[in-house]
Amino acid sequence: MKHSAAVEPTMVQKKRSKKELRKQYITAYFFLLPWLIGFLGLILGPMISSLYLSFTRFDLLNTPEWIGLANYQELFQDKRFVASAKVTLTFVFIAVPTQLIAALLVAVLLNKKMLGVGFYRTTYYLPSLLGGSVAIAILWKNLFEIDGLVNQVLAYFNVSGQGWISHPDYALGTIIILATWQFGASMVIFLAGLKQIPKELYEAASVDGGTKIQTFFRVTLPLLSPVIFFNLVIELIKSIQIFTSAFIISEGTGGPINSTLFYTLYLYQKGFTHFEMGYASAMAWVLVFVLGTMTLCIFFSSKYWVHYEDGGKL
């Protein structure tokens, strides 16, 4: 009995441990306080406010007027809203796969031992660092204008160019090319994933007589599928929110015949040009719903194509 009494903590020890634990929690929340303030003031607060405004008529000057679901009902009768949704989905379904394929192929090439490989990795990653900057969008716009560098190169080969940005059939394509060119971030993540694949698997595939193409599709891709999954979700979220390049290249108008009227650009026009902030808030929440649904679909489908080295599933 004496031994068990010695082992069991006394009431004093229990109170002391609870007091120390409380101090640890207080310290942790103290360091988290700046983030919590930012989250409540800059994220959660505005989200709740925009949800309320989506059910109102609000012009930024007068008091919001409650109108219920009228904004949401008006959305699907708005031809420009439908056009912006089509442009954005077309961009997403073309640009995201194209960018990921380009990033994966370049990552495979740069995963090999070669002279100056560090320089090449930096060079390919540099456009991604510049990201959606205004300067890059202006540069891209100048490249594809009627007197831009692209047409000058074509003229050298006796090919007549045109105003690529001002043509409704090609304007969206120029922005897709820009997005594809900025594959550096995905490439670096693919490189990290390729480094984690055990070399023994490649040696075993070589012993079994597998070709490089067979090894790529039966070894590299399955083991890289978690990284592909991660990049796919990140690029989907980023692409569906594209704004800067679309705004600069189309000069905020949405391009010829709304060919580059991206969803976020139309949302901006409604909120800050037409001062229909209630309508813009409704558009924002529709975007949240669509983006969440698409992300959930990718998560649910991942159990069929995302594989891990230990044979597990997501």
State pLDDT tens for residues 100-134. 999 999 999 998 887 888 888 888 888 877 766 78
Per-residue pLDDT, 1: 47
Per-residue pLDDT, 13: 64
Residues of the chain predicted below pLDDT 70: 1-16, 131-132, 309-314
Residue 15 inside a domain? The answer is: no
Per-residue pLDDT, 25: 86
Residue 165 inside a domain? The answer is: yes
State pTM to two decimals.
Answer: 0.85
Residue 255 inside a domain? The answer is: yes
Angle (nearest 5°) at CA 67 between 61 and 72: 105
Q: What is the DSSP string of the chain?
A: -HHHHHHSPPHHHHHHHHHHHHHHHHHHHHHHHHHHHHIIIIIIHHHHHHHHHTTEE--SSSPPEE-TTHHHHHHTT-HHHHHHHHHHHHHHHHHHHHHHHHHHHHHHHHTS--TTHHHHHHHHHHHHHHTT-HHHHHHHHHHTSTTSHHHHHHHHTT-----TTTSTTTHHHHHHHHHHH--HHHHHHHHHHHHTS-HHHHHHHHHTT--HHHHIIIIIHHHHHHHHHHHHHHHHHHHHT--HHHHHHTTTTTSGGGTT--HHHHHHIIIIIS--HHHHHHHHHHHHHHHHHHHHHHHHHHHHH---TTS---
Domain CATH code at residue 162 = 1.10.3720.10
Per-residue pLDDT, 278: 95
Residue 312 inside a domain? The answer is: no
Residue 94 inside a domain? The answer is: yes
Residue 167 inside a domain? The answer is: yes
State pLDDT tens for residues 189-225. 999 999 998 888 888 988 888 888 899 998 899 999 9
* Domains in the chain, number: 1
Residue 31 inside a domain? The answer is: no
Per-residue pLDDT, 117: 80
Residue 208 inside a domain? The answer is: yes
Structural domain containing residue 243: 70-305
